[in-house]
Amino acid sequence: MNAAIIVAGGLGERSGLAAGKQLAVVAGRPVLSHTLAAFDACPAIHEIVVVAHPDRTDEYRTVAVDPVASAKVSRIVGGGSTRQRSVAAGLEAVSSSADTILVHDGARPLVTEGLVTAVMEALERDGSLDGLVVGHPSFDTLKSVDVDRVVLGTLDRNAVWAAQTPQAFRARVLREAYAQAMAEGFEGTDDASLVERLGRRVGMFQGPRDNLKITVPEDLLVVERLLARGAEGRPW
């Protein structure tokens, strides 16, 4: 059984949106509704847990979740003070029978059913992997800098990828990684970083560059145009 955790518990302070970026309306529906609809349409996903702001779970349900009418949504739970704690809350709500758990940012509404399916199938095919992260090779030159923003060096961009979500994992490995991280007070920048520190094998899956995460207000304009364009020309 495959489960998905959609993380939508952040305040979205950088977005400058009064209601938060998850409930911002783009292309006629809330951002979170677009995201949820893609997972609902994916046959490889059997259960969905939505993690919302702890003080706004009813609002998220009414505004963004119920309109999608997904029978796969098993629970809407309140998140924690950090993204990692929010995912941990989602993990507690996921059925113990889940073999694979996929984590996705609710603020990435350009995710498609095809991409979700492709990632799940790729992880299933490769038994040597404990996790698979959607991302793409870096096309920009990347600089390492100090606290004063003085350049320390130029990274080899051939060895650097930009990580996105969804990120898919063997359920027992992800649970172990989160339990250890929480016990040791480790805060990772994404879910894969927690699995990596266990010495587990995590692969990269190349997805579309336009799988954007809404962070600032101008991102909404870009997402609006891409949603209007539809899936034409996208690999997934």
Q: Quick one: CA dihedral 181, 125, 203, 72, positive or negative?
A: negative
Measured distance CA(155)–CA(162) in Å, rounded: 13
Q: Mean pLDDT across the stretch 82-90?
A: 95
Q: How confident is the model at residue 222 (pLDDT cuts 50, 70, 90)?
A: very high
Q: Identify whether 131 is part of a domain.
A: yes
Per DSSP, 214 falls in state P
Q: Identify whether 109 is part of a domain.
A: yes
pLDDT at 217: 87
Does the structure show a pLDDT above 80 at 201? yes
Looking at per-residue pLDDT, the higher value among 9 and 230 belongs to 9
pLDDT at 66: 96
Q: Identify whether 234 is part of a domain.
A: no
CA nearest to 93, candidates 193, 168, 7: 7
Q: Mean pLDDT across the stretch 77-89?
A: 95
pLDDT at 15: 47
pLDDT at 175: 98
Q: Identify whether 236 is part of a domain.
A: no
CA nearest to 3, candidates 72, 83, 68, 57: 72
Q: 227 with 26: CB under 8 angstroms? A: yes
Tell me which residue range forms the domain holding 121. Answer: 2-229
Measured distance CA(180)–CA(126) in Å, rounded: 25
Looking at per-residue pLDDT, the higher value among 16 and 116 belongs to 116
- Supply the mean pLDDT for the chain: 92
Q: Quick one: CA dihedral 41, 42, 47, 50, positive or negative?
A: negative
| pLDDT tens figures, 142-189 | 999 999 999 999 999 899 999 999 999 999 999 999 999 999 999 999
| pLDDT tens figures, 30-66 | 999 999 999 999 999 999 999 999 999 999 999 999 9
Q: Count other C-beta atoms under 10 Å from residue 215's C-beta.
A: 12
Per DSSP, 198 falls in state T
Q: Identify whether 206 is part of a domain.
A: yes
| pLDDT tens figures, 93-103 | 999 999 999 99
Residue entry with tokens 């963004």? 64
Q: How confident is the model at residue 20 (pLDDT cuts 50, 70, 90)?
A: confident
H/E stretch holding 48 reads: strand 47-52
Does the structure show a pLDDT above 70 at 110? yes
Does the structure show a pLDDT above 70 at 11? no
Helices (H) then strands (E): counts for the chain: 7, 11
Does the structure show a pLDDT above 90 at 235? no
pLDDT at 233: 55
Retrieve residue 84's tokens. 């990692």
pTM (2 decimals)?
0.93
Q: Identify whether 97 is part of a domain.
A: yes
The phi, psi pair for 230, rounded to 5°, reads: 80, -165
Q: Identify whether 51 is part of a domain.
A: yes
Indicate the residue type of 56: R
The phi, psi pair for 76, rounded to 5°, reads: -120, 115
Does the structure show a pLDDT above 60 at 18? no
3-class SS string, 6-26: EEECCCCHHHCCCCCHHHCEE
Helix extents (H) in 62-203 = 83-93, 113-125, 171-184, 191-196
Domain count, the chain: 1
Looking at per-residue pLDDT, the higher value among 10 and 214 belongs to 214
Measured distance CA(236)–CA(43) in Å, rounded: 15
Q: Identify whether 158 is part of a domain.
A: yes
| CA angle, 19 then 190 then 158, to 5° | 120
CATH code at position 153: 3.90.550.10
